[in-house]
Structure 1
Amino acid sequence: MLSEYQETLLQSVKAFQSTQLVKNKYENVLQHLDSGIMLFDNEGVLTFINVQMARLLEMPRQSLIGCNLLQMLRHPHLSQFKKRNVLRIYRETIFHRKKYHELIDEYGRHWLITVTYGDQMDGDFLLSVKDVTDFKRVEQAAYQNDKMAMLGKISAAIAHEIRNPLTAIRGFIQLLRPHLVHLGKDEYARIILAEIDRANDIIHEFLNSSKPSAPQKSKVSVASLLKEVVLLTESEALLKNCQMVLEVPEDGYVSIDVKQIKQVLLNIIKNAMDAISEVEGDHKGVINIKAEVDAKHINISIQDNGNGMDKGQLGRLFDPFFTTKEKGTGLGLSVSYRIIKNHRGNISVDSLKGAGTIFVITLPIVS
């Protein structure tokens, strides 16, 4: 009888140990997931948090285990930004029954938050957080390419239809100009011709933004390219109270269409000057142009201390016809985007309202 009891007890111990090993194994897996995980019980107490989630919250795990939501929000190490987002997720989950949330953190990264609850969780709440920044970047690039492709389809169809009547109007205005001069109205003719030329320029930019010509590449020193660009812009920069600072290594070559890449660089520098001129007061503008070479690429950064942009403007910056300038066409950066892509490169931008903007152009290097 005792032997049977001991055998049963031994089996129970082995079963418990086996269960504990499985539990430890799965807990170890959860601890090292690239997604952050938190588990609240049916009373709202945090019973589990993995390493990644604690890292995202920038707090030690042990200080959070056993806390309820209110205690978490009162935790002295939780930043105000994170407190606001925790509250927002709580409201949308409880009051609006939302199970999926998206947010951008203070570092500009995108996060997808999933809340699982209901019968399958026995009253518990499982919250998982995944970094989807790279997915968003790919999605944005695909969206941008779709827009440019659509722009290409409609541009060819409308360009000639607009240019033909503009050419006819310009010709007749030139024929009428002597009569307008006789009437003392030559200024009218000058304005009409200038506006027609401006319309033609917009059409030209529109066509280039949809499909810039194939790059005619040649091997060029990045140092000489950037020095020439600075030489072309420094006089205008001085007039606008801007200082140009160039930092570039003497080595580093790229295979590019010099005219097209120069167009991109000049466009970005001109935008930087305009952003600096928008800052009120006696503001000393600085435009830093820097090139860095790694094993496969060269990164050219153009940074200004101008007015900067908010997140809404930043997200639409490469959209055709989007502009923050009163007299801008909104085509310069969309043209630049397509030119860099045609060179198998990448162009990115980061900005903070009131603190300036930085553009980074990445191009493959050649030996």
Structure 2
Amino acid sequence: MSDVQQAGPKDMRALQSSQLVRNKYENILENLDSGIILFDSEGVLAFVNVQMARLLGVPRTSMAGCTLTQLLRHPGITRFKRKKIIRIFRETVFHRKKNHELVDEYGRSWLITMTYGDQMEGDFLISVKDVSEFKQIEQTAYQNDKLAMLGKISASIAHEIRNPLTSIRGFIQLLRPHLITMGKDEYVRIILMEIDRANDIIYEFLNSSKPSAPQTTMISVLSLLKEVALLTESEALMKGCQIVLHMDEVDETAISVDVKQIKQVILNLVKNALDAMDGDHSHIQGRIEIWASRVEKQVHIRIADNGKGMDHHTLNHLFNPFFTTKEGGTGLGLSVSYRIVRNHGGSIAVESQVGNGTTFMITLPVMDVAQE
């Protein structure tokens, strides 16, 4: 009996130590930023952490003891999530796929990992992690690589194209008097117009790969945006759109920028917004709103429209050179804008949903006029 009595406290201490370790690891799993859910060998939910319950939108207590089928029938699971879960389940079972990527209804990217097999002793572990930031970094790196490649291409061919165009334009000008006498002046006008258009495309092509270094001057944000609104007012009226300018405590805010380049960026965004008013949303009163606000050492310029919006595919390729949804568009305007803003030490971002319009955000460093 004495041996048993002596062993009892040791066993108790070992049990308590084991429980502490288990509680510690359960606490870690509970507070991971990744969603974790575990089904046992019988297909019954054995564990779900706080993040996974939040992602599913279902209270943890109501999931206890559920099978996957019962979970799919839960009233808290949206139709979108139900369809995604079924698709992932099929790919895992029939194609033995253990890693899945998906984009949710809010545009966020998720990496889903399945762990099962002998090492899990029949259990089935699912982890879900938000990889939106990594995708954004990957997209930015991809964008930079494409722009670098575009620069090499443009440097090698642009001048070779412009030189013969210049020669052709000169000879057409020389032939113009003879063609006029033949009643062919309209042909000359069209040829010259098309040559000039080709030159403009080449100019955009060159700028998209390497815009000239900014020639900075001080300008107030208020005057810059007022000028842009004035320049686009007539086109907006013709399209039945309204441009509304909001200024939030930026009267004394100045930015040191290449005025021509930054004006080109803002004009491009406003004209894109005007184009977004055409088509399916033409029956809605078009409205473009421009906000400017100062946040510490930055100025935020937002340009929002109530047009048709963009889907995820368009958003993911929006700043890529030559990507366009416009008939006859070059696909260079936004890639040029991206590079110009970045060369000014700023950033440009976009939010959009189909049917709910689009908002662009330009962020630029500011400088107090009083300090100059």
Q: Deviations over 1:44-80 (max 9, x none)?
A: 1110111111111122111112111001000011111
Residue 362 of structure 1 is matched in structure 2 by 363
State the SS of the aligned residue for 1:95: helix
Residue 5 of structure 1 is matched in structure 2 by 4
TM-score, normalization: structure 1? Answer: 0.97
Residue 55 of structure 1 is matched in structure 2 by 54
- After TM superposition, the structure 1 = structure 2 runs for residues 54-133 of structure 1, keeping only pairs within 5 Å, are 54-133=53-132
Residue 260 of structure 1 is matched in structure 2 by 261
Residue 208 of structure 1 is matched in structure 2 by 207
Residue 334 of structure 1 is matched in structure 2 by 335
Q: 1 CA distance for matches of 2:84 and 2:258? A: 47
Residue 321 of structure 1 is matched in structure 2 by 322
Deviation at 1:281, TM superposition (A): 4.6
Q: Is 1:148–2:144 an aligned residue pair?
A: no
TM-score, normalization: structure 2? Answer: 0.95
- 2:281·2:307 contact (CA, 8 Å) conserved in 1? no
Structure 2 gaps, min length 5? none
Q: 1 CA distance for matches of 2:215 and 2:282? A: 44
State the SS of the aligned residue for 1:34: coil
RMSD: 1.3
Q: Deviations over 1:185-243 (max 9, x none)?
A: 21111111111100000000000000001111122221121111111111221111010
Residue 174 of structure 1 is matched in structure 2 by 173
Q: 2 CA distance for matches of 1:280 and 1:22? A: 60
State the SS of the aligned residue for 2:325: coil
Q: 2 CA distance for matches of 1:22 and 1:352? A: 47
The 3 A distance-change label for structure 1 pair 7 and 251 is farther
- 1:51·1:61 contact (CA, 8 Å) conserved in 2? yes
Q: 2 CA distance for matches of 1:109 and 1:352? A: 13
State the SS of the aligned residue for 2:364: strand
Residue 35 of structure 2 is matched in structure 1 by 36
The 3 A distance-change label for structure 1 pair 14 and 42 is same
- 2:240·2:286 contact (CA, 8 Å) conserved in 1? yes
Q: Is 1:275–2:276 an aligned residue pair?
A: yes
State the SS of the aligned residue for 1:213: coil
- After TM superposition, the structure 1 = structure 2 runs for residues 167-316 of structure 1, keeping only pairs within 5 Å, are 167-249=166-248, 250-316=251-317
Q: 1 CA distance for matches of 2:313 and 2:212? A: 31
Q: 2 CA distance for matches of 1:292 and 1:105? A: 31
Deviation at 1:8, TM superposition (A): 2.5
Which shows bigger deviation, 175-184 or 341-350? 175-184
* Runs of 4+ with >4 A deviation: none
Q: 2 CA distance for matches of 1:113 and 1:252? A: 46
Q: 1 CA distance for matches of 2:7 and 2:283? A: 87
Q: 1 CA distance for matches of 2:216 and 2:166? A: 33
Q: 1 CA distance for matches of 2:298 and 2:96? A: 47
State the SS of the aligned residue for 1:276: coil
- 1:278·1:306 contact (CA, 8 Å) conserved in 2? no
Aligned length: 366
Q: 2 CA distance for matches of 1:44 and 1:287? A: 53
Letter aligned with residue 290 of structure 2? I
Q: 2 CA distance for matches of 1:315 and 1:281? A: 26
Q: 1 CA distance for matches of 2:299 and 2:91? A: 45
Q: 1 CA distance for matches of 2:62 and 2:365? A: 47
Which shows bigger deviation, 143-152 or 296-305? 296-305
Letter aligned with residue 326 of structure 1? E
Letter aligned with residue 304 of structure 1? D
Deviation at 1:321, TM superposition (A): 1.3
